[in-house]
Amino acid sequence: MTRTDWRRRAMSRLLVSFCAASVLLALLPLAWVLFFVGKQGLAALNASFFTQVPKPVGEAGGGMANAMVGTLILIGLGAAAAVPVGIVSGLYLAEFKATRLASAVRFAADVLNGVPSIVIGIFAYSVAVLPLGRFSAIAGGFALGIMMIPIIVRTTEELLRLVPATLRDGALALGATRGRAALTVILPAALPGIMTGVLVALARVAGETAPLLFTSFNNRFWSTRLDRPIASLTVQIYTYAISPYDDWHRQAWAGASVLIAAVLLFSILARLVTRRLERMHRS
Residues 200-239 that bind another protein (CB under 8 A): 200-201, 203-211, 213-214, 217, 234, 237-238
Based on the shown chain and the rule CB under 8 A, indicate whether residue 55 belongs to the binding site for another protein.
Answer: no
Pick between residue 73 and residue 105 the one whose CB is nearest to another protein: 105
Residues 57-76 that bind another protein (CB under 8 A): none
Q: In angstroms, what is the minimal distance from the CB of 88 to another protein? A: 4
Based on the shown chain and the rule CB under 8 A, indicate whether residue 32 belongs to the binding site for another protein.
Answer: yes
Q: In angstroms, what is the minimal distance from the CB of 160 to another protein? A: 12
Cα(216)–Cα(6) distance, rounded to whole angstroms?
A: 63
Pick between residue 23 and residue 47 the one whose CB is nearest to another protein: 23
Based on the shown chain and the rule CB under 8 A, indicate whether residue 105 belongs to the binding site for another protein.
Answer: yes
The residues, any chain, with a CB within 8 Å of residue 80's CB and separated by 6 or more, are 141, 145
Alpha helix ranges (H) inside the chain: 3-44, 47-51, 65-95, 100-114, 117-124, 137-162, 165-173, 178-181, 187-206, 233-241, 246-282
The answer to whether 147 touches 78, Cβ cutoff 8 Å, is: yes
The interface mask with another protein, positions 248-267, x = CB under 8 A, is: -x--xx--x--xx--xx--x
Cα(7)–Cα(137) distance, rounded to whole angstroms?
A: 63
Residues 107-136 that bind another protein (CB under 8 A): 107-123, 125-127
Cα(9)–Cα(246) distance, rounded to whole angstroms?
A: 55
Based on the shown chain and the rule CB under 8 A, indicate whether residue 43 belongs to the binding site for another protein.
Answer: no
